[in-house]
Structure 1
Amino acid sequence: MELYFLGTGAGMPSKERNVTSIILNLLAERNTYWMFDCGEGTQHQVLRSPVRVSKLEKVFITHLHGDHLYGLPGLLSSRSYQGGETPLTVYGPKGTEQFVRTAMEISQSHLIYEIIVHEFDAKEETILLEDEQFQVSIAPLVHRIESYGYRIAEKPQKGRLQVERLKELGITSGPLFGKLKQGLDVSLEDGTLLKAEQYIGPAYPGRVVTILGDTQPCENSGKLARGANVLVHESTFAEQKKQLAVKYDHSTAMDAARTAKEAGVETLILTHISSRYQKEDADLLVQEAQQIHQDTYLARDHWSFQVPRRKGK
């Protein structure tokens, strides 16, 4: 599980940062990518990344401001030309489907795959989707328009098969390994019974990643981020521009750090950076945040972060 940042700017593109789009790389977990927001120019950013649009499975939109949405029609169209044939689901607030369908119809875009649009209007923390691997929850934030945050929780992982212990017993059979890994007890030719539970290591807690849309500091930010391995939080302004943050319903770097600390987050990643903070000026944001939450990173375009596994008990 890896986060890859295609765009980390706020409002409009700059020479250093494109507008918002984040990839959650789940190739190891389910051989797919999930995308969070798709600002203008995202498909150009994809061309300079290792991401393959044909493997894009889901797109999650936090809110309908253009810097989070305008790149979606082009990306959906290009996916057809790049071998994407499997269905793709777009999740977003009310209005997402109208935007997608209108763009596709007026431009007469021909897609070789099915687009499924799932709109939501949640008033509190709600489970958006769940399968055998992940649970994704949403909650409304505080912004000028309807804006949401996402909590992606991986289900607990089974312990690893203790292959070395089995080899010490002289067992090298692949099929036997497979049965034990599935939790099935195995009888050897000499009558010895191998109980699967004795050869499987401790289970691993699932990882949690929280990705927030644009927001002022609010209660639901903390709820979505509680105990997360990683929190991706907008950091549009430095603290000296706090008045602007309040005026436009955004957060400062220190706002993000306070949320991370109060929620018990392991790692905080700052993104959605105003174009006023170019190059080394942006370092001020991470310096301010680290006064409150030490394990903080400043995201940049084409930067990635490997989400570490938690240790089993």
Structure 2
Amino acid sequence: MSVRELVILGTSSAVPTRRRNHNGYFLRWGDQGVLFDPGEGTQRQMRLAGLAATDVTRICVTHFHGDHSLGLPGVMQRIARDRVPHTVRVAYPGAGEEYWRRLRHATSFHDTEVILPQPVGGSGCCAIGEEEPFTVTALPLRHSVPAYGYRLVEPDGWRMSPERLERHGVRGPDVSRLLREGRIEVAGREVALAECADPRPGQVFAFVMDTGECEQAVELARGADMLVIESTYLDSEERLAREYRHLTARMAGRIAARAGVRLLVLTHLSERYEQEREGEFVAQAAEEFDGRIVLAADLDRIAMPARRRPV
């Protein structure tokens, strides 16, 4: 199976700290690389993580607050400088088009034509990303500026069984034809795909940043193998979370529990919390969610969970 992992480039919120850079998350999905919310310092963090501009095939921006987007100019200029040959699609809230234009051409540089803007908008589900091995959808969140979360879904597939293929006499080009057509005739007998393969559930990744609790966050995370979600505050600052339309770790855990998530990754921590208090984020989320929880740290690599077993 191809490598599927999340590389954490930054985990702070509005103000970076000595240990936590501004936001930045790189999802490696086989030969695809999705960069989420590149804040300041993303280009350097990519270097430290061993990532190149050529690894990026798509960028997803949730909203145009600086800690989620001020790294865009550097990343895009690096894509141009390194002469990345493939298209790099960039999804962002269409309501922030003026900010996109400013960031896209923040300074003078030798531009590139490979960057393809994909503004998202509306109050419902916005589908993008038909070119990748997964579908990408965006849903609006509840924040102080237009903000969208993203959901990547791999279609369900099949895992071929060499023994069963041989037993049914399916060989060579007939294997791909069976996979494509669902049933074929071999030596005068019809062979169905289910006789030679087992269902392979597709994987789901969800990315939810700055937002208050809302149904859209739950819908984005529904059945996700991995949910990356902001948890800016602890319970003691719940009033601030509601006032500024952010989440506490407990709220993030509640969303994960309602959505049936498998792995919950907490990030976007307020700079107010010292290192010795970070365990409280996991503890408070765990009071709502009984699955696996990871508190993200800069330059962590978090593997996607193994596929679910077919029901």
Task: Check if 1:227 corresponds to 2:248.
Answer: no
CA gap 1:284/1:4 in 2 versus in 1, 3 angstroms: same
CA gap 1:4/1:182 in 2 versus in 1, 3 angstroms: same
Where does residue 110 of structure 1 map in the other structure? 110
CA distance, structure 2, for counterparts of residue 132 and residue 59 of structure 1: 13
Where does residue 33 of structure 2 map in the other structure? 33
CA gap 1:177/1:124 in 2 versus in 1, 3 angstroms: closer
Residue 176 of structure 1 and its aligned partner are, at CA, apart by 5.0
More moved, 267-276 vs 59-68: 267-276
CA gap 1:10/1:267 in 2 versus in 1, 3 angstroms: same
Written as runs of structure 1 = structure 2, the 5 A alignment for 1:1-313 is: 1-27=4-30, 31-94=31-94, 96-105=96-105, 107-130=107-130, 133-157=133-157, 159-167=158-166, 174-175=172-173, 177-183=175-181, 185=184, 187=186, 191=187, 193=189, 195-197=191-193, 199-295=195-291, 296-307=293-304, 308-313=306-311
Poorly superposed stretches of 4+, deviation over 6 Å: none
The unaligned stretches of length 5 or more in structure 1 are: none
Residue 5 of structure 1 and its aligned partner are, at CA, apart by 1.4
* Secondary structure of residue in 1 paired with 2:200: coil
CA distance, structure 2, for counterparts of residue 46 and residue 98 of structure 1: 27
Deviations 1:34-81 (A, max 9, x none): 111110000101001133321311111101000000000001111223
* Secondary structure of residue in 2 paired with 1:127: strand
CA distance, structure 1, for counterparts of residue 128 and residue 37 of structure 2: 16
CA gap 1:311/1:122 in 2 versus in 1, 3 angstroms: same
Deviations 1:81-109 (A, max 9, x none): 33412222211113554334334545221
**Residue type at the aligned position of 1:254:** R
Deviations 1:108-145 (A, max 9, x none): 21134422212222213333444573222222211111
Root-mean-square deviation (CA, aligned residues, Å) is 2.4
* Secondary structure of residue in 2 paired with 1:195: strand
CA gap 1:182/1:118 in 2 versus in 1, 3 angstroms: closer
CA distance, structure 2, for counterparts of residue 225 and residue 305 of structure 1: 17
Residue 204 of structure 1 and its aligned partner are, at CA, apart by 1.8
CA distance, structure 2, for counterparts of residue 132 and residue 72 of structure 1: 22
1:151 and 1:224 in contact (8 A); partners too = yes
* Secondary structure of residue in 2 paired with 1:118: strand
Q: TM-score, length-normalised on structure 2?
A: 0.88
CA gap 1:92/1:132 in 2 versus in 1, 3 angstroms: closer
* Secondary structure of residue in 1 paired with 2:28: strand
2:95 and 2:121 in contact (8 A); partners too = no
* Secondary structure of residue in 1 paired with 2:122: coil
Residue 172 of structure 1 and its aligned partner are, at CA, apart by 9.9
**Residue type at the aligned position of 1:164:** E
2:151 and 2:206 in contact (8 A); partners too = yes
Identity of paired residues, percent?
A: 32
1:176 and 1:186 in contact (8 A); partners too = no
CA gap 1:252/1:103 in 2 versus in 1, 3 angstroms: closer
The unaligned stretches of length 5 or more in structure 2 are: none
Number of aligned positions between the proteins: 305
Q: TM-score, length-normalised on structure 1?
A: 0.88
